[in-house]
Amino acid sequence: MIYYYDGSFDGLLCCIFDSYANREVLTAIYCDEDLQPTLFACRTIPTDSRHARRVFRKVAMLSHDAADLLRRGFLTCLPEKELYLYRLVVKLLRDGPGFLRNASDETLYPVLRAVHHLNGEAHLLKGFVRFSELGGVLGGEIAPKNRVLPILRSHFCARYQGETFFLYDRTHKEALFYAAGKAVIRPLEDFQMAPPDETEAHYRLLWKRFYDTIAIKERYNPKCRQTQMPKRYWGTMTEFQGDAYFTAQSSPAAVSDRGAPVGIPAPGTLPESVPSAPESAP
């Protein structure tokens, strides 16, 4: 049996609820946006928050770890995550929480791996997020594979509790807004960062200079850098942006001394803008 749901976490929990209510074994769970005509029997499940709460409470009663896995698993980019999570809950209800000890369990392992990937990405992004100040408000953009915003929320809200900030997720088209102690995550179809003012451009330049200078030329090792910090993160990081990123809106003239005289300019820097390019590391 194939179930369609509205794409929300509660919706998925309702699919699980209804599969028990209707005594049906699910072979696929799809978001109703991907609704396709099919020869197989299918059903569209309405979301009922009371049903969702009952399922979640039951899972949490059996195991807090499983409840956490369920919540986090839903944020991952695992293909057909709904079905994996459904099978996890079915196994939990049938066999009890004992199998959760065994990370190599066939039902558990794919979910664990996906959650591990999500946690890893969120951990890296705690460091790799870059904010810009736009009229007193801090704004940043990320392009993660998993939906990390709910995980990053508490970290950034604690860190910048006196600030007003937002963080836009390009991949999932949603944004985290924080002001005066309150945070919300809302869908946001499109977002373009405004060009920097004088002050913002100045600090971006200072950071780029710091980054280029801190590397030791004799230890140049781009492979190690890329292992630690995969290229897909570079697009939203200040130190890898081109010239325009460091130019203030009000002063169209390009900044002449961008590259560090003693350092290794990061990729994204045009070679001709660096006076010392020949002697910098290959």
Partner 1 sequence: MTMDVLEKLTILTDAAKYDAACTSSGGSRGPKKGYLGNTSSSVAGCCHSFSADGRCVTLLKVLLTNNCVYDCKYCVNRRSNDTRRAAFTPEELADLTIQFYRRNYIEGLFLSSGVFRSPDYTTELMIRALRLLRETYRFNGYIHAKAIPGTSPDLVEQLGFLADRLSVNIELPSEMGLKTLAPDKTKGAILAPMKQIQTRNQQSKEELVKYRHAPKFAPTGQSTQLIVGATADSDFHILRLTQGLYDRYRLKRVFYSAYVPVVEHALLPSKEVKPPLLREHRLYQADWLLRFYGFRAEELLDEEHQDFNPQVDPKCSWALSHLDFFPVEVNTADYETLLRIPGVGVTSARRILSARRAGRLQIDHLRRLGVVMKRAQYFLTADHKMTDGLRFTPDSLLRSLVAAERPLLPQPELEQLSLFDSAGTA
Q: Contact residues for partner 1 (CB under 8 A)?
A: 98-99, 101-105, 109, 123-124, 126-133, 138, 140, 155, 158-163, 203, 205-207, 209-225, 227-229, 237-239, 257, 260-264, 266, 281
Nearer to partner 1, 42 or 124 (CB): 124
How many CA atoms lie less than 13 Å away from 176 in the CB half-sphere?
A: 24
Nearest approach, Cβ of 109 to partner 1 (angstroms)?
A: 5
- Cα 195 to Cα 213, 226, 248, 269: the distances in Å are 25, 28, 7, 18
Nearest approach, Cβ of 183 to partner 1 (angstroms)?
A: 13
Distance (Å, rounded) from C-alpha 9 to C-alpha 12? Answer: 5
Q: Are 107 and 99 in contact (CB under 8 A)?
A: yes
- 180: region left, alpha or beta (phi > 0 left; psi from -120 to 50 alpha): left
Nearer to partner 1, 86 or 246 (CB): 246
**SS3 at position 136:** coil
Nearest approach, Cβ of 20 to partner 1 (angstroms)?
A: 25
Nearest approach, Cβ of 141 to partner 1 (angstroms)?
A: 12
Q: Per the structure block, which two tokens stand in for 153?
A: 């929320």
Nearer to partner 1, 59 or 142 (CB): 142
Q: Are 169 and 148 in contact (CB under 8 A)?
A: yes
Distance (Å, rounded) from C-alpha 98 to C-alpha 107? Answer: 13
Nearer to partner 1, 46 or 96 (CB): 96
Nearer to partner 1, 38 or 213 (CB): 213
Nearest approach, Cβ of 85 to partner 1 (angstroms)?
A: 19
